[in-house]
Amino acid sequence: MPALAVDAAAPVVHAFACDAARFPTPLLGPGAAAAAEKPDAAAWSADLSSALYNVDGWGAPYFFVNDDGDVAVRPHGAATLPGQEIDLAKVVAKAAGPRAGGGLGLPLPLLVRFPDVLRHRVEALNAAFDYAVRSTGYGGRYQGVYPVKCNQDRHVVEDIVEFGEPFRFGLEAGSKPELLLAMSCLAARGNPDALLICNGYKDDEYVSLALMARTMGLNTVIVLEQEEELDIVVEASRRLGVHPVVGMRAKLRTKHAGHFGSTSGEKGKFGLNAAQILSVVSKLKTLGMLDCLQLLHFHIGSQIPTTSLLADGVGEAAQIYCELARLGAAMRVIDVGGGLGIDYDGTHSAQTDMSVAYSLEEYAAAVVAAVGRVCDRKGVAHPIICSESGRALVSHHSVLVFEAFSASAPGRIDPATGYLLDELTDDCHADYRNLMAAAVRGDFETCALYADQLKRRCAEQFKEGVLGLEHLAAVDSLCEIVARGMGAAEPPRTYHINLSVFTSLPDMWAIGQMFPIIPIQRLGERPAVDGVLSDLTCDSDGKVEHFIGGRHSLPLHELPVHGTRGYYLGMFLGGAYQEALGGLHNLFGGPSVVRVSQSDGPHCFAVTRAAAGPSCADVLRSMQHEPEVMFEVLKQRTDGATAAALARAFGAMPYLSFDPEAAAMASGESSGMSSDSEGSAAGVAEEDDDEWEFMRGLTV
């Protein structure tokens, strides 16, 4: 590029003076006027933050931003009264606050469960189908099941069975351990008519276990995923003397595009095609067991985007159901599988996997209408309609809260180091002078060319040892400041979070699933920083840089001043799958957990269960290490005080540990701003902070 003519005697404005505020107005670029008109922090409001993060889109009817600028929860959905709303920031203050001040002293990250939300989801799903049945004159009823693979946590499963008992709500299992927990839970808490659907590939042990469940009075149905599974069922039923109830999973032609539809259609992973269905019917008829066939199951994929696609698939399955009834099977249940989606991005659209273009009520109406229409045309009695709606039930009931503990700083040059630019070699110094001349003229295109040339030339000379690291840093900062002066957007800053994406957000890493992530407090302030999130792991994939709304950065606030903690973010709608799929990457375990119910106390909630996350010893043991032996080996090389510290290290969580008192102060909450104390310490051992005993049998 030809050099611009520059008067050698003319003074050069040093880089440290080239802040965007010093440039003439034209240099600020075309976006400067609009930026200048943006409201300042004082003009910001909680309502503007709610709109910015589209909380009313993805959060309704459970999450909203309250007048204090905190994310709050309506535990009973739209029926929640004003005095029943739960401030999430106060929950975190209670859970993470020091025990000496009335907190629970739980380390973060923190998973907050709201069983009242879970109850509301169960009731809303059943109410939607009940209304669809009554309003259309449908002759059958709805009787759903929860697929425990979505979240196998004991309290989640027990809650769903308890809340669903009046609706005959049951469980679906896809493996032997899931079947065992489903049997136990239904036997203890379930409605006698509740279905226990046995899906997944099966061996003799699985089938025998399912047949044993029938002898215990459970309404168990063994769904055939493969034709050869029928032989296993017949053999086991004869051996145990149990008359089985079986279903078949049909492989439909209907499928939907996108990641969540990949298991559907003719080439789907599961199910029987038309020829195999007829073969099973023929075998059962020959064996005199055709009365055992009572259920048809299908699945056209999770996150079904539209009711038109849903109705198409349900209609196809209903035709198969009616054909099975015509062939003599004792059909009584059509299981429409999963697929009831949720609105992760709040757009209520069918364009991506992140949203769906229907409501809960519209979903139920489409299913009931499609089944009723086909059965009426075929003259077949309306069956019981079952769905396996796991994602829609549990996604909203929990919030993952984590802390941003540091952030990258924007580029700047210390005025004391401005002389470094005068020490550049002649060719680099010429680029520098030309760059500044173009900047002062407002020649943005030429300015960008010289900036790029200067950086490349300096990088080459650094590699050759001609320039020092200080020169390279000064040039980089200069070019960044000039770019901002030309109106270029400041690159997103990296916020470092006390979390493992691989452990707590596996779908985000593995399949590009996006969940709403927003600050849970300070939403009355304007978020002035665009940031991306980087986790604690050593892998480059351990980051979050894609957010709902198509954003590649997240509006955030400046972190609290140095020496304080407490900038908390929440990940929402992640109650399905993430806990079960998370691994132990870098041996980071799961989060601490609190269970929060709405109460009539001064702060509207009570913590009814609390548990710290897995310790270092727990995660080591999960990988076949022996923490007790490891401790004994290390203890031989140290004194008593160090051994005590080692014991505490084995018992601590793997995540970063910060002073909870500082966190409470930074969040604006004293330890007194917490929930009702009654029952709030259930599940938490009384511990002395200075002598935290290692509870896994390690002794000093």
Q: Which residues are catalytic?
A: 538
Q: What single-letter DSSP state applies at residue 312?
A: H
d(CA 413, CA 18): 9
Round to the nearest angstrom and report the end-to-end CA distance of the chain: 71
φ, ψ of residue 497 to 5 degrees: the values are: -115, 145
Q: Please give the C-alpha separations between residue 476 and each of 24, 127, 591, in angstroms, as whole numbers.
A: 22, 61, 39
User: In 3D, which of 537, 675, 490 has the Cα closest to residue 601?
Assistant: 675
User: In 3D, which of 549, 548, 553 has the Cα closest to residue 571?
Assistant: 548
Contact status, residue 331 vs residue 324, Cβ threshold 8 Å: yes
Pairing of strands 145-147, 110-113: unpaired
d(CA 456, CA 475): 10
d(CA 435, CA 486): 12
Write out the two tokens for 137: 């004159």
Q: What single-letter DSSP state applies at residue 636?
A: T
Q: What single-letter DSSP state applies at residue 547?
A: B
Contact status, residue 261 vs residue 307, Cβ threshold 8 Å: no
d(CA 700, CA 694): 10
Three-state SS for 598? strand
Contact status, residue 113 vs residue 95, Cβ threshold 8 Å: no
**How many angstroms from the chain centroid is the CA of residue 162?**
25
Contact status, residue 171 vs residue 146, Cβ threshold 8 Å: yes
d(CA 397, CA 303): 18
**How many angstroms from the chain centroid is the CA of residue 343?**
13
Judged on CB neighbours under 10 Å (0-12, 13-18, 19+), 148 is: buried
Give the DSSP H or E segment for 283. Answer: helix 274-286
**How many angstroms from the chain centroid is the CA of residue 326?**
45
Judged on CB neighbours under 10 Å (0-12, 13-18, 19+), 175 is: middle
Contact status, residue 612 vs residue 106, Cβ threshold 8 Å: yes
User: In 3D, which of 111, 8, 56 has the Cα closest to residue 611?
Assistant: 111
Q: What single-letter DSSP state applies at residue 536?
A: S
Contact status, residue 290 vs residue 303, Cβ threshold 8 Å: no
Contact status, residue 225 vs residue 271, Cβ threshold 8 Å: yes
DSSP H helices in 512-659 = 578-581, 616-622, 627-635, 640-651
d(CA 326, CA 375): 11
Contact status, residue 296 vs residue 290, Cβ threshold 8 Å: no
**How many angstroms from the chain centroid is the CA of residue 261?**
20
d(CA 210, CA 216): 10
Contact status, residue 481 vs residue 394, Cβ threshold 8 Å: no
What is the sign of the dihedral through the CA atoms of 305, 311, 314 and 315? negative
**How many angstroms from the chain centroid is the CA of residue 566?**
21
